[in-house]
Amino acid sequence: MGSSSSFGFGNHFFIFDILIFYICRKKKVFNTGLNVFLFEEVFFIGEYISKHVQFSPIKYGKRVRKLEEIYDKNIAGKIARNATFAPFTYIFLFIPILSFVLILSQEIVYVGLIFFLIIFLCFYFDIWLENQLKNRRLKILSEFTTVLSKMSLLINAGVTSTVAFELVATSSSGVFYDEMKQTIKEIRNGVSYEEALDKLNFRSGCKEVRKFISLYKQNLEKGGPEFPLLLSEMASNAWEERKRRAKIAGGVASQKLLIPIMMMFIGILLMVIVPAFNSFL
């Protein structure tokens, strides 16, 4: 009874998939080319279903804001849309497979594996996005320390803050350097300094950068002799923070190294104990 009901359930999904394929056969979804998406070519299934199912606009908005730190605004919206379509697509593609496996194998282990695979695929994009943002912010913070030091040296040497910003931006390459170059490009294209710096602030996603931009904007508006001193202090604090992060990263790396060492230790113990235990018996 359970097998026949599972078969019927899976058949409904299978027939529904074929029906959507036929209805949307000429429709194409924007292909992001990101490896995080599987079967992106058939995301029109998820798009069709999402039109008839209410999903959270708050979650969609949060994804867009996070993606805009990494991608252009238009691309970020399209990626977020595909991330919404993905779970619906995976569910309707894999549930027939899940039902057929249950019927053919009668093994709950295989069914459980496919079920957890579906759950994982549904949540994988958000996990991937958080890792992307984390790695990006770590790179920004690493480069930001050097940027502050260069800015501080130039301004203390008598270079104006705007010229120093441009010189530092073009002095090297990297995530934060590229964002600074993008800011300069926007200013040259007619965007106001304040708006361009606000965009840089948003794309960086780091409180340390926000503090620097706030200080930099204040200097542009009011000026004052205290800016070089505050910038030097900020650069010094940034280096201390970078050392602290390096120590933490070193500690995490050493903890990770303990895992293979413990595995080797357990293997050696088994090699010694098992023969001794057998001879004792």
Residue 269 lies in a domain: no
Looking at residue 223, the DSSP 8-state letter turns out to be -
Residue range 192-234, pLDDT digits in tens? 888 999 999 998 888 888 888 988 888 888 776 788 888 888 8
Residue 276 phi/psi, 5-degree rounding, is -65, -40
Nearest 10 degrees: CA dihedral of 14, 18, 23, 28? 100
Residue 132 lies in a domain: no
Residue 32 lies in a domain: yes
Q: Let me know whether 21 and 99 are in one domain.
A: yes
Residue 156 CB partners (closer than 8 Å, separation 6+): 228, 232
Residue 127 lies in a domain: no
Residue range 139-169, pLDDT digits in tens? 998 888 889 889 889 988 888 888 999 999 9
Question: The whole model's pTM is what?
Answer: 0.74
- For the chain, give the number of residues: 281
Question: Which residue type does 45 have?
Answer: I
Q: Let me know whether 95 and 149 are in one domain.
A: no
pLDDT of residue 117: 84
Q: Domain count of the chain? A: 2
Residue 122 lies in a domain: no
The full DSSP string for 19-82 is HHHHHTTT--------TT-SSGGGTHHHHHHHTTS---HHHHHHHHHHHTTTS-HHHHHHHHHH
Residue range 249-268, pLDDT digits in tens? 565 555 666 666 667 767 67
Q: Let me know whether 91 and 161 are in one domain.
A: no
Q: Let me know whether 102 and 142 are in one domain.
A: no
Residue 264 lies in a domain: no
Residue 211 lies in a domain: yes
Residue 10 lies in a domain: yes
Domain hosting residue 49, numbered range: 2-106
Q: Let me know whether 70 and 16 are in one domain.
A: yes
Q: Let me know whether 30 and 94 are in one domain.
A: yes
HSE-up of residue 130 (Cα within 13 Å, Cβ side): 4
Confidence of residue 1 (pLDDT cuts 50, 70, 90): very low
CA distance 154 to 129: 36
